[in-house]
Structure 1
Amino acid sequence: MSQFDKLAKLVGEVGARGEPNHPVTLTLPSEQEILISRVFDAPPERVFRAHVDPKALADWWGPREYVNTVDRWEPRKGGAWRIVQRAPDSTEHPFRGVFQEVVPSKRLTWTFEYERLPGHVLTETMTFEPEPGGRTKLTVHAVFPSQEDRNGMLASGMEWGMREGYERLDDLLDRGA
């Protein structure tokens, strides 16, 4: 990969395969919110399934160099979830939460907490909207307990991890998942 390709990938203009991708749109509607949207070239049923199937989720969630282990995954109201991401340097990043709403192919709401910073729990709602051509617009609405928590998430590299994760999800969907 050339230096230009690396730079373009970093700023989200070109995907990992060197093809134009769908940009991630990130806005800050209030001091305690993040709103993210992204279009995928697959229908809502498939994009939703990739979010609730633990094997599929482990294949795409987060940065490319990270390996995910799904320790617990109960995609139903009140069900718990826990994922551990292992970075290239073997550092583990454990996340957990509780599913609050699961509406197949339409909406998924869960709490989200980084275990190494307990007590900072946010709520994420993901909506899966059909788009023309069999595509899906995914919107993620994250509500934080404070502006400091929101800003900490932004400073953590979350946007980079999400962009790479969505590129990985593109790859998974291209393979028919």
Structure 2
Amino acid sequence: MTTTEHHETQIAADPEVPLIRITREFDAPPAKVFRAHTDPELVVRWMGPRGLEMSIDHFDCRTGGSYRYVHRQGGEEYGFHGCFHEVRPDELIVQTFTFEGMPDGVALEKLVLEDLGDGRTRLTATSLVDSFADRDAFVASGMEVGVREGYERLDEVLAQG
């Protein structure tokens, strides 16, 4: 078994449109990275920052499906839900994302998996929101910590097979 190399998660706010772009490489083929995003038993093991407990109400990752999950910490609950608009195995997930604490703030998210060869994958995720103010509030919410720690946790799940 090889040691997983640490990859940086790049998070950038687009200056032209209210969009956040996340780029990250993984030492696993696209099929494994895709499965980790679509299998609820795996999703619950890595999504979000360390220290939060996650439970999934439902997770039907297919074109036309939907999801809802809750993160808990210290008696606080944070619910999230959305719909899967397009799911193409090993390459693409298009979904909506709503934090229930801000129900009017719906993001349109697109996750693209690129096969880099040698069992490696580049993930590019974009989140488009209604306004630059919403985008900046999304960034200010601490999402960066959750994304970075979540992808570190995903590295651990992928390394376990």
Q: TM-score normalised to the size of structure 2?
A: 0.94
1:106 is aligned with what amino acid? E
Runs of 4 or more above 6 Å deviation: none
Counterparts of 1:90 and 1:164, CA distance in 2: 21
Aligned residue number for residue 34 of structure 2? 48
Counterparts of 2:64 and 2:130, CA distance in 1: 20
Matched, 1:140 2:125: yes
Higher relative contact order (CA 8 A, sep 6+): 2
Matched, 1:64 2:56: no
1:174: how far off?
0.6
Q: How many residues end up aligned between the 2 structures?
A: 157
Q: Going by fraction, where is strand more abundant, 1 or 2?
A: 2
User: Do the aligned partners of 2:5 and 2:27 also contact (CA within 8 Å) in 1?
Assistant: no
1:31: how far off?
3.9
1:90: how far off?
2.2
- SS of residue in 1 equivalent to 2:45: helix
Deviations, residues 98-142 of structure 1 (Å, cap 9, x unaligned): 001100000001000001111110011000101132100000011
Aligned residue number for residue 75 of structure 1? 61
- SS of residue in 1 equivalent to 2:126: strand
Q: In angstroms, what is the RMSD of aligned CA positions?
A: 1.1
Match for residue 104 of structure 1 among 59, 74, 89 = 89
- Stretch deviating more after TM superposition (35-44 or 129-138): 129-138
User: Do the aligned partners of 1:31 and 1:150 also contact (CA within 8 Å) in 2?
Assistant: no
Counterparts of 1:77 and 1:142, CA distance in 2: 18
1:143: how far off?
0.4
Counterparts of 1:151 and 1:86, CA distance in 2: 24
1:77 is aligned with what amino acid? T
Q: Percent identity?
A: 41
Deviations, residues 40-67 of structure 1 (Å, cap 9, x unaligned): 0000000000000001000000011111
Unaligned runs of 5+ in 1: 1-18
